[in-house]
A and B are shown apart, each in its own frame.
Chain A
Amino acid sequence: MEPIRPGPSSPAAEPGDIDVGALLTLVAGGDQTAFETVYDRVAPPVFGLIKRVLRDSAQAEEVAQEALLEVWRTAGRFDPARGSGMTWVLTIAHRRAVDRVRSETASAQREARVATADVAAGDEVAETVAASLEAERVRHCLGGLTELQRESITLAYYSGYSYPQVATALGVALGTIKTRIRDGLKRLRDCLGVSW
């Protein structure tokens, strides 16, 4: 196997880290060893993010497994021109978590959780996140948003709310939520120095 450069475009990559995107091209060719390395790199955020959205460890494990197998099966569709490998993987994970949440939205259990969870989501960022520098950076930048921007983004991303659900939960007009999410993401992007 040839040495693989750390991805210059991935802000998460530490020096010496193997770029997930480069590994994905090997995975697309059926390389199980490369997949195991991908697993080790992506499983903590994949599992953590899904668990965050689903608020249930057992379900998170199940959905994380589905997401990671999707990574294995569809690695050939990863296009480096459209973003980093980590972004591609976490997009799959987030979509699967959101699909699961929305499919159970009708259930009483979910309703109950939504009622109690609600806006508290914003504060949980600090809790869930270990003392990693990455998490600290994100926490710092979320702190630089307006309250409405921060709540809109965390409810949408970490709780899997659609923006109309965010609007209902926060009692704010739909149009306002759309713009707050977008403006908040711009500010967050600039604060985090995201390049892609």
Chain B
Amino acid sequence: MRILGITVGRRPHVLAGAYALDALEDADLSRFERHLLRCRTCPDEVRGFAATATELGLAAAVPPPPALKAAVLGAVGALSSARDVDEAIAAVLSAPDARIVSGATSAGGTATVVASKSRATMVFTSTGLPALPPTSVYEVWFIGSGGARRAGLVPPLPSGVAGTATPTTVPVLASGLASGDVVGVTVEPAGGTESPTTTPIVVLTL
């Protein structure tokens, strides 16, 4: 059908329905999305069609398997704590009194601490530490006048990474930094210990 020389079937407008049902393929999709930007009536029509599609979706509802909820909420919890840790790390790194200290370890590689005394928090990372057998772990300590306090365990690198490059360990965030503390690292049995059982491979003075 032709009106004023325009083939009606070619007007992108008519694609609004297929668009709302995700039924457009690439070329039509970009054509319609361009059209949407300058079409006055399309956005309302698309909104109404999307709401209509929602009704079709609601009509298809079935109870999901219980395992889905556990999986989704579990993943959300993990994502959320990762985000919290990232935010806390970012807060330490951007603290006005953030101080960065690096040092070579006696086992090889470099240990780095970014510490904020005002936040009593530090972030520990390392590059090039030798991989340990699964029975051992690198443990980080706050060492002060009262002795050593646990600051955290360095997550082991994925197997296969060791020796191939100078792998960087996942940042360890630890709070409880006290005035006068230094930071030390020891090799401990997997799972860590309450107090160091070996000589530190590095001690960083903040």
Contacts and interface: CB of A to CB of B under 8 A. Distances in A.
A52 B69 contact: no
B204 to A, nearest CB: 33
Interface string B50-61: 111111111111
A125 B56 CA distance: 9
Chief secondary structure at chain B's binding surface: helix
Given A32-B77, A47-B62, A39 B69 contact: yes
A180 to B, nearest CB: 8
A86 B1 CA distance: 38
Contacts of A181: 17-18, 21, 23
Interface string A116-156: 00000000010011101011011100000000000001001
Contact of A49 (B14, B48, B57, B77): B57
Interface string A157-172: 1101111101000000
A56 to B, nearest CB: 13
A60 to B, nearest CB: 9
Interface residues of A, number: 71
A65 B60 contact: no
B67 to A, nearest CB: 7
B80 A32 contact: yes
Interface in B28-69: 28, 47-65, 67-69
Contact of A90 (B9, B53, B68): B53
A82 B63 CA distance: 28
B3 to A, nearest CB: 14
B24 interface: yes
Interface string A11-50: 1100000000000000000101001100100011111110
Contact of B22 (A95, A138, A153, A188): A95
Contact of B79 (A73, A129, A195): A73
B71 interface: yes
B63 to A, nearest CB: 6
B69 A164 contact: no
Interface string A76-90: 000000111011001
B75 interface: yes
13 contacts: A32-B76, A32-B77, A43-B64, A44-B61, A47-B62, A47-B68, A65-B68, A69-B76, A86-B54, A87-B51, A162-B23, A185-B49, A188-B56
Interface of A: 11-12, 30, 32, 35-36, 39, 43-49, 51-52, 57, 61, 64-65, 68-69, 72-73, 82-84, 86-87, 90-91, 93-95, 98, 125, 128-130, 132, 134-135, 137-139, 153, 156-158, 160-164, 166, 175, 177-179, 181-186, 188-189, 192, 194-196
